[in-house]
Amino acid sequence: MSIHIEAKQGQIADKILLPGDPLRAKFIAENFLEDAECFNTVRNMFGYTGTYKGHRVSVMGTGMGMPSISIYARELIVYYGVKKLIRVGTAGSINPDVHVRELVLAQAAATNSNIIRNDWPEYDFPQIADFGLLDKAYHIAKELGMTTHVGNVLSSDVFYSNMADRNISLGKLGVHAIEMEAAALYYLAAQHGVQALGIMTISDSLVNPEEDTTAEERQNTFTDMMKVGLETLIAE
Ligand code: HPA
């Protein structure tokens, strides 16, 4: 076991879906995986391994924000040998053409965090998705009929930001949405030579605040996003 994950070696598949919310990990295990077994309950950060269409896959919550996902993703990669990591989460749109319930595939992630800057102060080191996963996810999402945007997101350290206007103005530079984890996940993937992708459903719009979703609509779009994530994980 590692410091924050109590699984034994071999209990975690080399492909994993990473929702922020551990209860969503439980939902995915119960609704999409066969023979799912729980491998982690430490801090209620539930993780499960089962099979999806005959392929062994895992799903585990990461918590919110880059410090939290960095802990789990690093332990999954370094201690448990995970090679493909797909974050499935929500994001707030900062682009008037990106609407609630639509999908954003984070081709890259800008960040206001110091996580990367601390290591590389003299570079603007871009955080990018694995192209193979991105390419597969895009085609799978299109086939499922989902409106899908591919591009930059902002991974922010702050949800209730005092700099909201500045963050929103990044929309004018083509940044689609704000979320809180992708840049750290991509940085870890780069450090350890593994594959990572962030898939986000737009849950709210910071530029069209009147756009809203019902609980049922949110559940349906999240379910579609989970399918895109799982199909991408198992695609050859
Ligand atoms: N900001 C940051 N993270 C988010 C948001 C947001 O507006 N919406 C969903 N995740």
Among the listed residues 67, 84, 73, 69, the one whose alpha carbon sits nearest the alpha carbon of residue 13: 84
Tokens of 135: 């390419």
pLDDT of res. 25: 96
Residues 6+ away with beta carbon under 8 Å from 19: 25, 28, 59, 61, 62, 87, 88, 89
Ligand 1: lining residues by beta carbon, under 6 Å: 90-92, 156, 159, 178-180, 203-204, 206
- Which ligand 1 atom is the nearest neighbour of the CA of 156? 2
The predicted-structure confidence for 87-108, as pLDDT tens digits, reads as follows: 999 999 999 999 999 999 999 9
C-alpha distance from residue 113 to each of 16, 53, 102 (Å): 25, 38, 26
**Stretch (H or E) spanning 89:** strand 84-93
Cα 43 to averaged position of ligand 1 atoms, centre (Å): 23
Q: What is the mean pLDDT of residues 211-236?
A: 89
Measure 74 CA to ligand 1 centroid, in angstroms. 23
Residues 139-196: pLDDT tens digits?
999 999 999 999 999 999 999 999 889 999 999 999 999 999 999 999 999 999 999 9
- pTM of the full predicted structure? 0.97
Q: Which two tokens stand for residue 230?
A: 């799982």
pLDDT value at residue 1: 87
Quick check: 202 and 102 in contact, CB under 8 A? yes
Residue positions annotated with a catalytic role? 204
What is the Cα–Cα distance from 189 to 56, expressed in whole angstroms? 21
Residue-level pLDDT at 191: 98
| Distance, C-alpha 152 to centroid of its chain | 14
3-state secondary structure 130-159: CHHHHHHHHHHHHHCCCCEEEEEEEECCCC
Q: Are strands 15-19 and 55-60 parallel, antiparallel or unpaired?
A: parallel
Distance 59 CA to ligand 1 centre (A): 22
- Which tokens is 75 given? 């332990």
* Number of the ligand 1 atom closest to the C-alpha atom of 161: 1
